[in-house]
Amino acid sequence: LIDKLLREYGTNQDVTNLVDNMEIFINPLSNPEGTYIAGDNLDFSLRYTRNGIGLDHFIDMNRNFPDAIAGEHPDGNDYSFETEAFMQYADNHHFVMSANLHSGAEVVNYPFDTDSALPADNAWWKMVAQEYVALARLYGGESYMTSDFPSGYINGYAWYSITGSRQDYMNYFKHCREVTLELSIDKKLANDLLPSYTSRNIAPMMAYMNRATKGLRGFVTDSVTGEP
């Protein structure tokens, strides 16, 4: 995605419109210490952060964020360094939309994870999820994103409820719209499969990003001074 945005800017109208009309932030890896915990290879990796010494200090980042229902420390742990870094980054930037990429299933997981009540914008989320899945199947085949649900998308709580997810934190506390994209059944894809999974997700990711250009946009200023 980074390569496409850089390489095709100025020649691809869709790419150019995205880059010209929004700020784009891409974080390739949330937990490098867990990913490369055994060294410079992926023979052994963990989803957990190492918040100290010993196995009892491993923390699952996606259970470690403040939760609207379960409170500030839903997992009973202090915030890991990585969790705090994300929260600080969210404080410093007013994100409108975001996506959190996972593996282990093939499904679009939309808010909320912690609450059985559907979000007020549930109809919007279903529309956006349907768009993502349709484009992903256009490039990846009709069997893509059918591992758990025929529709290819699901409300998080209806799938399985968790507390402390980044998705819920960004939506509830930061007034952002974040979705969790489960992109492959295999936790760690073989290298030769990466191009295939990249090609089937680039178009839907760009369509999702384009949603941030919709709706009311502009500046509110004082009619006398012109100041915000």
pLDDT in tens, the chain (228 residues): 999 999 999 999 999 999 999 999 999 988 888 888 888 877 777 888 876 555 557 889 999 999 999 999 999 999 998 999 999 999 999 899 999 999 999 999 999 999 999 999 999 999 999 999 999 999 999 999 999 999 999 999 999 899 999 999 999 999 999 999 999 999 888 889 999 999 999 999 999 999 999 988 788 999 999 999
Contact 109, 147 (CB under 8 A): no
pLDDT digits (tens, 9 = 90+) for 158-177: 998 999 999 999 999 999 99
Can you tell me the distance from the alpha carbon of 35 to that of 28, in angstroms, rounded to the nearest whole number?
A: 12
Contact 156, 109 (CB under 8 A): yes
Strands 153-155 and 105-110: parallel
- Which strand ranges, in their side-by-side order, compose the sheet holding 153-155? 97-102, 177-184, 105-110, 153-155
The helix-helix angle for 13-21 and 194-210 (nearest 10°) equals 60
Q: Mention every residue, 6+ apart, whose C-beta is less than 8 A from residue 74.
A: 63, 64, 65, 66, 67, 114, 163, 164
Q: What is the pLDDT of residue 187?
A: 87
Three-state SS letters, the chain? CHHHHHHCCCCCHHHHHHHHHCCCCCCCCCCHHHHCCCCCCCCCCCCEEECCCCHHHEEEHHHCCCECCCECCCCCCCCCHHHHHHHHHHHHCCCCEEEEEECCEEEEEECCCCCCCCCCCHHHHHHHHHHHHHHHHHHHCCCCCCCCCCCCEEEHHHHCCCCCCHHHHHHHCCCCEEEEEEEECCCCCCHHHHHHHHHHHHHHHHHHHHHHHCCCCCCCCCCCCCCC
Q: What is the pLDDT of residue 44?
A: 78
User: Which residues does residue 177 pair with via DSSP β-bridges, in sequence order?
Assistant: 97
Residue 224, phi then psi, degrees to nearest 5:
-95, -50
